[in-house]
Amino acid sequence: MDRSKVVQDPVHGTIEVGGVFLDVMDRHEMQRLRYVKQLGLGNLVFPAANHTRFEHCLGTYHLAGRMADAIGLDSEDSDAVRMAGMLHDICHPPFSHALEPAMEEATGLDHMELARALIMGDVPDHLPEDDDILGGRDSIAEVMEAGGISAEAVCGYICSPESTGAEALDRFWDKHEFFPSKDYAHQIIHGPVDADQMDYLMRDAHHTGVSHGTIDSERLIKTMMVMNDRIVLRRGGVTAAEGLMVSRSLMYTTVYFHETVRIAQRMLVKAVEDSGIDLSDVYLRGDQELMGMVKASGGRPSQTVRRLESRMLDKKAFAVYSEDMTDEKAEVLMEYAGHGGAARLESEVADAAGLDVADVCAEVTSKSNLQGRMRIGKTDVAIADDEGRIKSLTRFSPIARSLQARDPYGWAVLVSAPESSRDAVRRAASKVLGF
């Protein structure tokens, strides 16, 4: 008989893990996620936000299984989808999203592509110093295959979301035709109403104490079905879908884009990048291990990390908020959006203030947000009306329509500095941006 365990979870109650799923859960690659905080430095603002990627992955596995049952997946597809839920964040770097760009630059792969390589055994799965206890083990793919689960299918669910673009959706709304792609299975991991976002919204709200993340997952799952090869909700799920969209949008503003969290995050990223440490194996390390490496590098990066540990954070010196944005300001900020844009702004502000660039941190909202095209609420949820026609949630819900125009950031640019340099940086940022 397969061994199994019941895990007590504060969000979902009991989660049963058995057989090959338990074998994979107990792998060292999964256990590393116990040392990667789900919200990075979010606990500097929300003291109880010390939950990890490990528990989020277990929650996603659990919800993926419930969604698979709700839409009637066969056992083969259900097992693959559940395993994808468990492994979808297997290669998140320390401090989660904050260091993803640095990891991608060092490895040439984003965290989903790196997950495929790790699962398949194409990149090292442990550090050299752990070879005495971890060397010679089968890859995760080999463990899954021995347990009857296709590793290629699991990696496909993690790395290759199916047709979710405008062209596919244009063929979908108000139509009865069928275009087979098994898109519905992918949507359990990557979709408008997926296991990943349901778990992180509920879990992050629970641990931060923010009430916005409360969603009716029971109602959402019970109203799911497959039509035209995609997951849709029956009309009775509209209110629950609205709740999910509102929760997601407000959690981004309140938690994920919180000003102080973003300032601390930028301090950390700059310290890691300036430390010169090798990040090619960062996907094998935990938060505190990375902090220790940066501290050991000495100099200003070490000082910054020690300041973060003592919560001696930079202070906001200059900001432009959403309600004060104009087309002219957006056009200026577009020059600093995207990869490398914040670093350019920091350099220009530091020069104007006569300071070292290490004394200036900047965060700029995304290009899509500046252009008014951001859709953080994922409002393309599919609803089946009483005649069996498929319509977007926005056709049923004024709330969903409003979310399409809502700025989830609340700010367009943040510039911060140590207290002693705050006034100089404020003047310099105003001069550089011309605001």
Residue 373 has pLDDT above 70, yes or no: no
pLDDT in tens, 54-106: 999 999 999 999 999 999 999 999 999 999 999 999 999 999 888 999 999 99
pLDDT computed for residue 380 by the predictor: 75
Report whether 215 contacts 247 (CB < 8 A).
yes
Q: What is the pLDDT of residue 386?
A: 85
Q: Which band of pLDDT confidence, cut at 50, 70 and 90, is reported for residue 401?
A: confident
At 118-132, the pLDDT tens digits run 999 999 999 999 999
Distance set, CA 264 to CA 40, 45, 109, 158 (Å):
10, 10, 25, 30
> Angle at CA 216, nearest 5°, toward 211 and 219?
175
Host H or E run for residue 296: helix 287-297
Determine contact, residues 223/236, Cβ cutoff 8 Å: yes
If DSSP codes are grouped into helix, strand and coil, which group holds residue 317?
A: strand
DSSP E strands, 256-336: 315-321
Neighbours of 238 (CB within 10 A): 19
Better-scored residue on pLDDT, 368 or 155: 155
Would you state the pLDDT for residue 291?
98
Q: How confident is the model at residue 161 (pLDDT cuts 50, 70, 90)?
A: low
Q: Give the Cα separation of 356 and 349 in Å (integer).
A: 10
Determine the average pLDDT of the residues in 339-352: 95
Adjacent-strand bridge partners of 109: none
Structure tokens at 199: 């778990």
- Phi/psi at 361 (5° precision): -120, 140
Q: What's the rounded Cα separation, in Å, for the pair 86 and 55? A: 9
User: Structure pTM?
Assistant: 0.92
Instruction: Report all structural domains of the chain as residue ranges with CATH numbers, in order of start.
Output: 4-257+373-405 (1.10.3210.10), 314-372+407-435 (no CATH)
Place of tokens 């090869």: 229
Compute the mean pLDDT over every residue in the chain, rounded to the nearest whole number.
91
Angle among Cα 131, 136, 138 to the nearest 5 degrees reads 125
Banded model confidence at residue 387, pLDDT cuts 50, 70, 90? confident
Neighbours of 311 (CB within 10 A): 12
Cα-Cα-Cα-Cα torsion 313, 356, 282, 190, nearest 10 degrees, comes to: 70
Beta-bridged to residue 414, according to DSSP, are: 319, 363
In this structure, are residues 400 and 377 in contact, taking their beta carbons and an 8 Å threshold?
yes
pLDDT computed for residue 211 by the predictor: 83
- Give the number of other CB atoms < 10 A from CB of residue 118: 24
- Which amino acid is residue 56, in one-letter code? H
Return the minimum-mean-pLDDT range out of 115-119, 137-141, 178-182.
178-182
